[in-house]
């Protein structure tokens, strides 16, 4: 799936999606990230043809959405907002309804129940499912037609840590076993880190980052700093004498960019020889969350 210059405004002049060039490679799990109100849901609605396209281009399976809408949407499963199913029916009964609608194989029902981990819900009505189970039933319905592409808007929203892990493991299973490409939105980068192969981060309708998770991780590596906890940081600054762009944090701590082990050992020796006691040398590895905050500039 790719978009080029995708735009959308609800009121004149106020673009909530503002020139998006998304690239979701085949076979990927693409994490679509951004804070509340960034434009994630609007973008996903546009991609699914649920909102009328105003500007820009959307291609899925290599074809423009505007000319191949039905063929493309037949091959795209989705879950936007809360899943819709019948609360007074069981998981299997619900899936039977959709199986008739979609005209797919009956045997597919057990396959999708297996995939989402809902095989043992028996006679329990879906209305009495937990939030996580409802979410998984919604995804089972989206998978019935055997789509090679799945679009999910914040599927873990409101779930407890266990529910989040279940959804995550399920999505990995669907991606690996069935080869389904997945576009999934979230505002939690730390959670996506364990799931996605690619990341797109938007803020105020514009992409601020797009690339593989590995490239984003490399950014984190670049942000690594060494914190020196000493008896006298002013004296330590004198010893360093402008080298390594050291910065004083407070009376005892100073910080340098990442250094080699040799450099760390040498500086440590110099400090001790100059009468500065070194209590701790630690790597201040910025987490993904702070990179995310930096990218969205707040």
Ligand X SMILES: Nc1ncnc2c1ncn2[C@@H]1O[C@H](COP(=O)(O)OP(=O)(O)OP(=O)(O)O)[C@@H](O)[C@H]1O
Q: Which residues bind ligand X (CB under 6 A)?
A: 10, 16, 34, 36-42, 187
Give the residue closest to Mg ion by C-beta: 41
- Ramachandran area for residue 117 (φ above 0: left; ψ -120 to 50: alpha; else beta): left
108: partner contacted, choices Mg ion, ligand X, none (Cβ within 5-8 A by kind): none
Given the complex with ligand X, which of 8 and 136 has the nearer CB atom? Answer: 8
Interface with Mg ion includes 156 (CB under 5 A)? no
Determine the Cα–Cα distance for residues 118 and 92; give it in Å rounded to an integer: 9
Q: Which stretch binds Mg ion (CB under 5 A): 2-10, 33-41, 104-112, 190-198?
A: 33-41
Token pair, residue 68, equals 């191949």
Least distance from Mg ion to the Cβ atom of residue 62, Å: 27
Least distance from ligand X to the Cβ atom of residue 248, Å: 39
Determine the Cα–Cα distance for residues 75 and 63; give it in Å rounded to an integer: 12
Given the complex with Mg ion, which of 115 and 150 has the nearer CB atom? Answer: 150
Binding Mg ion (rule: CB under 5 A), the pick from 41, 78, 99, 230 is 41
Least distance from ligand X to the Cβ atom of residue 169, Å: 23
DSSP string, 228-252: EEES-HHHHHHHHTTGGG-EE-SSS
37: partner contacted, choices Mg ion, ligand X, none (Cβ within 5-8 A by kind): ligand X
Instruction: Summarize as ranges the residues that interact with Mg ion (CB under 5 A).
Output: 40-41
């Amino acid at each position: 799936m790719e978009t080029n210059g995708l735009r959308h405004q609800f009121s004149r002049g106020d673009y909530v999606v503002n020139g998006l060039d998304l690239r979701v490679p085949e076979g990927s799990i693409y994490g679509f990230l951004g804070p509340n109100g960034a434009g994630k849901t609007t973008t996903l609605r546009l991609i699914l043809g649920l909102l009328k396209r105003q500007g820009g281009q959307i291609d899925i399976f290599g074809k423009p959405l505007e000319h191949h809408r039905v063929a493309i949407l037949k091959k795209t499963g989705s879950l936007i907002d809360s899943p819709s199913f019948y609360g007074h029916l069981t998981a299997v009964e619900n899936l039977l309804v959709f199986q008739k609608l979609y005209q797919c194989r009956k045997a597919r029902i057990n396959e999708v129940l297996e995939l989402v981990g809902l095989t043992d819900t028996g006679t329990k009505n879906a209305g009495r499912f937990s939030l996580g189970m409802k979410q998984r039933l919604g995804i089972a319905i989206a998978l019935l037609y055997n789509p090679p592409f799945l679009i999910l808007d914040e599927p873990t929203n409101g779930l407890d840590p266990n529910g989040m892990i279940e959804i995550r493991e399920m999505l990995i299973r669907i991606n690996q076993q069935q080869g389904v490409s997945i576009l999934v939105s979230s505002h939690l980068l730390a959670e996506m880190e364990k799931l996605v192969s690619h990341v797109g981060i938007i803020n105020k309708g514009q992409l601020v980052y797009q690339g593989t998770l590995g490239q984003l991780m490399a950014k984190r590596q670049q942000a690594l700093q060494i914190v020196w906890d000493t008896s006298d940081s002013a004296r330590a600054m004198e010893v360093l004498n402008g080298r390594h762009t050291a910065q004083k944090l407070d009376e005892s701590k100073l910080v340098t960019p990442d250094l080699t082990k040799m450099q760390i050992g040498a500086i440590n020796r110099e400090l001790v020889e100059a009468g500065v006691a070194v209590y701790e040398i630690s790597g201040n590895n910025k987490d993904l969350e702070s990179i995310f905050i930096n990218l969205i500039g707040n």
